Amino acid sequence: MKVIKIGNKEICSNKPCFIIGEIGTNHNKNKEIAKQLIDVAADAGVDAVKFQTFRPTDIVHSEIPANIYGHYQGENHKYWAEILNDLVLPEEWYSELWDYAHKKGLIVLSTAVSSYCTEFLMTLNTPAFKVASMDLNYFPLLEKLAKTNKPIILSTGMGYLSEIDEAIRFIKENGNDQIIITHCVSNYPAKAEQLNLKQIPLLEMSFNVPVGFSDHSLGVNSSIAAVALGAKVIEKHITLDRKMNGPDHSFSLEPNEVKMLVNGIREVELAIGSNRVISLAETEKRETFRRSIVTKVEISKNETITKEKLQITRPGYGIPSKFINEVIGMKVTQNLPKNTVLEWKHFKILKDKDSDKNGN
């Protein structure tokens, strides 16, 4: 799997999950709210914040009704473009907000929805681009983004595997193989039974690229579970208050929950570990919790060991129980008190075997 670098972070199977706090449109076209959300993200320890860069008619034509998208209709608006106009991040704010986030130690990303938006974000040296699920099959945009030679985070909501494959192939054919895909369910909020998180390892196996999860469900559990299943990017909406007015606040995380998300992901990553290893703590317990072959009675020097003279008990630093049949019939080289934990040095046969090895 190719390592994808975004800013100073590497995204691949053996690196920590890249956590994105999705501010999106939750700034409510208020610069101070945008800054407060950046503060929330930085305080929680996420890796990046993300905005959405668009002009309303980049997405919808001017006469699409406001109620067509159901989950949010806005106030006193007849058309969806009017709602979007209330959510546009003014271009003159970008540089200030980008600088503010950088000073907080955050990477800043954005979703680009058009050629114009891509070019504008390039002027800010945006290190990577997000492609919304709605644009998985918007090939003119994919071509434009591919030719920036910047990493592309491709959201797959509503997409068939064949469409995901087609989009990935198209981006690569246009000279860009820096691709991350995110499993996504395009419901707002998405219910637990709709999430199908087993898609995450399936997508990784199918396309051999880093896979993440763009999470629209409530709470933090689904994102943490996604990391346990192999997600290397988590994108989650954040808000100051879920009761705020706007299309995405209701399924976003509030400040204390953003901290819970980051802490939960980092704890799960520690628990996942890597290859099969025995920790130092467990190694020490082997000597106290495992069993050894132990004398059941006092045994004299040169006496032959019989089964009746042995017991198998803790501690575990002596001869393991699997060698009991080899120990039976051996003679000891010294007097052994009752409850002696037997070691190979207690037997004459070791000397005999050593002599055989030396050719004597």
Structure tokens that stand for 278 in this block:
């025995």
Is domain 280-357 in CATH 3.40.50.620, yes or no? no
CATH level 3 topology of 4-272: TIM Barrel (3.20.20)
Same fold, 4-272 and 280-357: no
Low-confidence residues of the chain, pLDDT below 50? 350-360
pLDDT value of position 355:
39
User: Are the C-beta atoms of residues 28 and 246 closer than 8 Å to each other?
Assistant: yes
Quote the pLDDT of residue 352: 46
Write down the pLDDT at residue 78.
83
For position 278, what pLDDT does the model report? 80
Question: What pLDDT digit, counting tens, does each position of 310-360 carry?
Answer: 999 999 999 999 999 999 999 999 999 999 999 999 997 544 444 333 333
CA gap 221, 228 in Å, rounded: 11
Rounded to whole angstroms, what are the CA distances from 7 to 2, 50, 52, 106? 16, 13, 19, 9
**Average model confidence (pLDDT) across the chain:** 93
Show the tokens assigned to 87.
């959510």
Hey, is 155 helix, strand or coil? strand
User: What's the pLDDT score for residue 69?
Assistant: 66
Q: Which amino acid is at 201?
A: P
Per-residue confidence (pLDDT) for residue 360, from 0 to 100: 38
Structure confidence by residue, pLDDT tens digits, 279-304:
788 888 988 999 999 999 999 999 99
Give residue 336's pLDDT: 97
Predicted pLDDT at 349: 59
What pLDDT is recorded for position 72?
66
So what's the pLDDT on residue 141?
A: 98
Q: How far apart are CA 315 and CA 286, in angstroms?
A: 8
Measured in residues, the chain has a length of: 360
Packing angle of the helix pair 31-44, 255-272 (nearest 10 deg): 30
String of DSSP letters for 69-99: G-S---SS-SBHHHHHHTT---HHHHHHHHH
Q: Kindly list the distances between the CA atom of residue 34 and the CA atoms of 97, 98, 125, 194, in Å, as whole numbers in the listed order.
A: 8, 11, 20, 31
Going from N- to C-terminal start, the domains of the chain cover: 4-272, 280-357
pLDDT computed for residue 200 by the predictor:
98
